[in-house]
Structure 1
C-alpha cells in the first residue's frame, strides 16, 4: 500500500470520527498523531508492509519498539486503542478482514489517584475578593468548576442560554456532544450574576459566550489554566493547580458527603461507572487518614 493510499484512509477515518462519531477536533488530532506514528514505524521496517499485510506479530513488535523508546504504558495503551479503532474502521468500510490489533494489550501501569483539594483549600481558592471585572469573572469560573464538576472544555464552551438561574441548573455539552443537566450551587449562582452585570459592559451583544476576555471574545482554555495558577499563588495554595483538579475535588467531596456513586457519575457525565469509581479510592484514602489519626491502635507513638 502506497503512502498516498495510507494518507487517504487516514483522512477518511478522521472525517468519520468528526462527522459521524462527533469527536472533538482535539481528539481527532490525537488520533491522527497516533496513526502517523504507526505509518512511520512501517516505513522504518527493512521489509515494507502495507496496512492489509500486518499481523498480530507485526503489531506486537511495533509496541515493543515504542516501549524500547521509553513510551509509558498509558501512552502505549492510548496509541494501541487508536490503532485498533482505525483497523476496525477499515474492516467495516473497506473490507479489511483481520484486525492485527485484536487481542493485544499494552503493558499494565499503576493508576495514580487523581489529586483533589481539601474542602478548606477549595473554599479558600474560590473566595476571590475584588470588584473589578476580571476578579468577578474568575470567581464565577472557579465557583462553577467546583460547584458543578465541569471539564475545562465544557466551561469555556458555555453560552449564556445554558444557565437557568431560576432552577439553579446548567445545560452542559460534554464529550461526544452529549448534553447533561447539572446543578449549580448558590455561591456559584451569586458569583455568576455579579459577573454577568460586569460582562454586559464589556461585551458586544452578538457574543454568546458566558466567559469572555478583555477584548470581548470567548475565553480560551489556556487562559483559564493561566488564571487558575495565578489565583492559587495569590490565595496561598501551594499546589500545582489545574482546572481538572477542581473537578476531582467536586467529585470527591460530593461522594464523601453523600456516598451516592451513581449521582456523581451522572453529574460528571461519565459513560461508565468504572470511571467514577476512582473517587471511592479517594474517599477511602480520606477515611484511612482519619483512622490513622484517631484510632487508639493506629496512632504512632
Structure 2
C-alpha cells in the first residue's frame, strides 16, 4: 500500500479514533483500490474522475452489490478528501460518484392457502372466546380488505365527525383514513362481515363505557399497534405458518392474490389507496414470480 494511504489510515486511527472494525474495513477498501491502481499502472495522486468511474464500473461488473460498492466508494472518497486537505491531490475523483441504487425488496406475501388458513385458524379451547372473535375479525379485515395496521386500529364502531374510519355492515363497505389524510372506501367481503358480526356480538363485554373504537384490547380501550403485531405473530405460529407474519404482510397478500385473479392493476390501486400506479406495480413482479414457480414445477421443459 502506498505511503499516502498508510498515513491516512494512521490519521483515521489516531485523529478520528475509528473503531478497530471500521479501520479493518477502511484497510481492506484501500488495499482494493491500490490493487486497481497497480493493475492500471496509475499513480494514486494522479487518478482522474474518468478512471475513478471506471473503477466503480469494475466493481459492479465483478458482481458486488450496491451496498458494498457504496461502502468502498465512501472509503475511497474519505481517503482522497484527506489527501486534498494535505495538498497532495488537486481534486477528489470520487466526489459525486455514487453506487447504483439497490433494487427495492419485493414485499413478502403469503400463499393463498396459508392466508386462508391463518384467517380461519382456531386456537386451543382455552383461549378467551371474546378475544378470538376480535382477532379473527382483525385478520379478516387485514387480508380481506387490504387495510394498513393504522387504518384497522383507527376504525370506530360508528361513523361520526371524529371517526377516522368505520365499517358499514348494511352496505358492506369499509371507510378508512389512509396516508396523507386521504379517505377511501373498500368492499367488505362475506367472511369479514360474518367475523365482524361475531365480534360485535361480544365487543360490549370488553369495551369500557364510551369507547368508540371498533377493536379494543383486554382492558377495554382501543387496541395498540404492538398488541396487533403480537397477536398476529402468535396466531401465525399457532397456525403453522412458514414465516414471521406481520400486519402489512396480509395487505401484501390481499394485493397479490387479487392481482393474480383479476389482472386489474387500476382496481387494485384504488382498493389499496395508492396515490401512484408505480407503487402498485410491484405486485406484478410478485405475480410473475408466482407464475414462474408454477412453470418450474409443472412444465416438462422447465426441469433440468
Say whether the fold is shared (TM-score over 0.5). yes
Bigger radius of gyration among the two: 2
CA contact (8 A) 2:206 2:217 kept: no
Shift of 1:116: 0.6
CA contact (8 A) 1:128 1:135 kept: no
* Greater than 2 Å deviation, 4+ residue runs: 103-107, 128-131
Q: Does 1:184 align with 2:181?
A: no
Partner of 1:117: 110
1:109 and 1:171 mapped to 2: Cα distance? 36
Task: Select the residue among 143, 147, 160 that pairs with 1:146.
Answer: 143
CA contact (8 A) 1:116 1:246 kept: yes
Shift of 1:106: 8.1
| Distance change (3 Å), C-alpha of 1:150 and 1:105 | farther
**What SS does structure 2 have at the residue aligned with 1:182?**
strand
Structure 2 counterparts to residues 1-301 of structure 1, below 5 A: 108-129=101-122, 132-161=129-158, 162-300=166-304
Shift of 1:197: 1.0
TM-score, L = length of structure 2: 0.63
CA contact (8 A) 2:143 2:254 kept: yes
Shift of 1:168: 1.1
Name the stretch that deviates more: 128-137 or 233-242: 128-137
Q: Deviations over 1:216-243 (max 9, x none)?
A: 1000111100001100111111211111
Q: Deviations over 1:25-48 (max 9, x none)?
A: xxxxxxxxxxxxxxxxxxxxxxxx
1:112 and 1:212 mapped to 2: Cα distance? 33
Aligned residues: 201
1:193 and 1:128 mapped to 2: Cα distance? 18
- Structure 2, unaligned stretches of length 5 or more? 1-65, 71-95, 159-165
1:137 and 1:115 mapped to 2: Cα distance? 25
Partner of 1:5: none
Partner of 1:52: none
